Amino acid sequence: MAELVERYVHQVGRYLPPKERAEIEAELRSMIEDQLDDRYAGSPSPEDVMAVLAEFGRPNEMAASYNRDQYLIGPDVYPYLMMTLRHVWAVVPTIVIFLNLFAALTSERQGSWLDTIFATLVGVVQVTLSFSALVVLLFSFIERIRPHLDNEETAFDPLTLPKVDDPRIVDQFETVAGIAIGSFFTLLFSYWLYAGGLTLRFNLLEPGEVIPSPLSWLVLLIASVGAQVIVHALALWRSRWSARLWLAGTILEVFGLFCLYFAVLSPGFARLITNNPSLGGVLGSAPEIITVGLGLMTLLGRGAGLVRLWSYADGSPAPVIARTDA
């Protein structure tokens, strides 16, 4: 009984903001226990617990009820929207600042640092606001089509709740961050493909100074990052990672690193060293070191996750789903 209640509370908590999670989980746990005590005098059967949890509803709907006065779109989609925007606001400005500073070092026309700082701040505001607007539009579209995808809504069954330590469960924040960052880089790399090379002047009519890049590798890089976004979105939609889906994401990520080396790192650092010969001894092998380092981190991190998924799948029985005859 206690395990099933804890599984339900844990799943609700996964949709809540971190600062409010502990307080709301404690309140929800107390509400459930009060309901069970009032109805069954402190000795409910497993069927009684299932009935009470079914009345509370699906975890994502229960979590959304705590944000009744905050959501911009529907309660089912709103938690994912806010998680995505939080990552956008944290990650995108950092990326834009780094890219602008790198562009200042690789530019053949050296300007003042004051101009560079001002242009960087303007770029941070423009890119962050633009990408935030795109995210809101994307989730608005999801909200519009979601009813058509949920034509066969099934009743909530508490026994289908995963265990707290189930490695197949999707980490909401990590997965949403992957979607947000992947979408941003897909747009950035697509713009570079349009411009014919690497540039940080976001102007479709006049991209400014362009660092030549192998366009075939840019195409493969865009395809790889876009496919990773789809993998993360599919896992988020299913609320489960499978070993095969995790393996597909790992292969795409490693392949994307090879594409990144040929399409971005190699030509970018070559231009940097050309314009700053004194850095040649220090940064001559930087593209290879970065690629190998990121590759090892990816293989170690995702490899450990893959082992946990396969071990869990091989060593645990299939979840029991309660069925009732009509």
- For 163-226, the three-class secondary structure string (H helix, E strand, C coil) is CCCCCCECCHHHHHHHHHHHHHHHHHHHHHHHHCEECCCCCCCCCCCCEECCHHHHHHHHHHHH
Looking at residue 316, its pLDDT comes to 43
Residue 1 — pLDDT band, cuts 50, 70, 90? low
pLDDT at 56 over 50: yes
pLDDT at 314 over 90: no
Looking at residue 145, its pLDDT comes to 61
Weakest mean pLDDT among 12-16, 51-55, 84-88, 278-282: 278-282
Residue 217 — pLDDT band, cuts 50, 70, 90? very high
Report whether 180 contacts 88 (CB < 8 A): yes
Rounded-to-integer distance, Cα 208 and Cα 206, Å? 5
Looking at residue 40, its pLDDT comes to 81
What percent of the chain is predicted at pLDDT more than 70?
83
Q: Where are the alpha helices (DSSP H) in the chain?
A: 2-13, 18-40, 46-56, 59-65, 78-106, 113-149, 172-195, 215-238, 243-260, 266-275, 280-283, 286-315
Looking at residue 277, its pLDDT comes to 81
- pLDDT, tens digit, 9 for 90 and up, residues 295-307: 999 999 889 988 8
Looking at residue 104, its pLDDT comes to 72
Average pLDDT over the chain, rounded to an integer? 80
Looking at residue 149, its pLDDT comes to 46
Average pLDDT of the segment spanning 126-146: 76
In sequence order, the β-bridge partners of residue 240 are: 169
Residue 258 — pLDDT band, cuts 50, 70, 90? very high
Report whether 48 contacts 61 (CB < 8 A): no
pLDDT at 8 over 80: yes
pLDDT at 66 over 70: yes
Average pLDDT of the segment spanning 225-254: 90
Looking at residue 57, its pLDDT comes to 86
The conformational region for residue 109 under phi > 0 = left, psi -120 to 50 = alpha, else beta, is beta
pLDDT at 289 over 90: yes
